[in-house]
Every structure is written in structure tokens, then in C-alpha cells.
Chain A
Amino acid sequence: EMVMTQSPVTLSVSPGERATLSCRASQSVSSNLAWYQQKPGQAPRLLIYGASTRATGIPARFSGSGSGTEFTLTISSLQSEDFAIYYCQQYNNWPRTFGQGTKVEIK
């Protein structure tokens, strides 16, 4: 089973600052990686797929990069609505697997 490891577990950021989240795969997943945002009591929302393509309606301040085993989600200037938990997910292999999540909290 592909293991996805996210870091850090918690990221404390001030509004307006840049946030950089990492996701590492135990084997190459090519570019078959997605990022999701989840707020308390809500379902996850797709942000990025194909490692770097923004989903419909996702603001340009969200960007994804990487391929193979190392991936990054960058939020260029954090807005109040961006404080949430972020998950990466690989869809290169079965079973699909998620990272354990990175919580972005207000500093």
C-alpha cells in the first residue's frame, strides 16, 4: 500500500502570509496526486488534481507542484477562509490513500 506522509502536522500562519504544505509518497505516483481542503463539519473539497491543476472555482492563490514522490501545496496569501485541514491523496495505485492531513491554523 502506498503511504502518503504530510508535513508539517500543524502549520501556524498569519493572515496574508504564505503557507507551504508538503506531501511525500512512499513510491512514485507520477502526477496522480490531488489536494483537498476540509473545514470542521464539512465534506472535503477538491482543490488541486494532476499535482498542479486547480479544480473549478479554486482561487489562484492555491497552487500545486511536484511529481514522483515529492509534492507541495502553496497558498500564496492566506485568507481567513483558508484556515482548515488539507489532505493529499494519490490515485496512481489501488488502494487509494490519503495523507494524514496538515492543519493550517491562525498564528
Chain B
Amino acid sequence: QVQLVESGGGVVQPGRSLRLSCAASGFTFSSFAMHWVRQAPGKGLEWVAVTWYDGSNKYYADSVKGRFTISRDNSKNTLYLQMSSLRAEDTAVYFCARGLGELQNWGQGTLVIVSS
């Protein structure tokens, strides 16, 4: 079955960087677009970024453009989110999800807290 497992979350100071990972299994990772979606505590879902199945195209939410970079390593079945210049408002659970249109499968998320 499809499994997506995020890791790399934690507490980080404002202005610092953090890299999240999403390990995929149970499907042909290199055939699917992958997304990051986040959810601030007690809030709704916010789409963050997408990478095409081969990494050829990437899109970002305006709120993270220029600070976050999505990437993937198809040889390792792993999706990444490099986050820099972190702000308090980036505090959220970060989910990875599979699909280009609808998000067919989701991981359980990893919590990022940006605080001094």
C-alpha cells in the first residue's frame, strides 16, 4: 500500500533553515507529482509547493516563494522541502501528498515550530 512518511521537523529559531523529507513506498514514486501542504495549529490547510514527477516543473505558494525549495530524489524515493529564512508564521504541520490534481495520498505530517 502507499506509504508516505515525513521527517525532519522540530523547533528552529526565526531566520534559520530546516530540511524536511518524505519517504515514499508502495508505488512508483518517479511517476507521480508530489506536493507539500501545511497546517498551522488549529487552522486550515495551505498548499505550499509541488514538483513534477521528474522535477522538471515546480510551483510555490507566494507565502514561501524565494524561501522554500522543493526537490526530489527518485533514486531514493524521497521528496524534500528545504526551508530557509523561517518565520513564526511558518509554524505548522507539514504534510507531503501524492498527485498532480487531487491529492490521492497523504503522509501523517511532521511538526515545525519556529520560535526563539
* Chain A residues at the B interface, C-beta cutoff of 8 Å: 1, 32, 34, 36, 38, 42-46, 49-50, 55, 87, 89, 91, 94-101
Among B59, B105, B106, B107, the one with the most A-chain Cβ atoms within 10 Å of its Cβ is B106
Identify the closest chain B residue to A56 (Cβ): B104
Identify the closest chain B residue to A47 (Cβ): B102
Question: Does any Cβ of A come within 8 Å of B11's Cβ?
Answer: no
* Cα–Cα, bound, A50→B104 (Å): 12
* Cα–Cα, bound, A101→B45 (Å): 8
Identify the closest chain A residue to B45 (Cβ): A98
* Cα–Cα, bound, A94→B37 (Å): 14
Chain B proximity of A31: nearest CB distance (Å): 10
List 6 A–B pairs whose Cβ atoms lie within 8 Å, in order of A's numbering. A43-B107, A46-B102, A55-B104, A95-B61, A98-B46, A100-B44
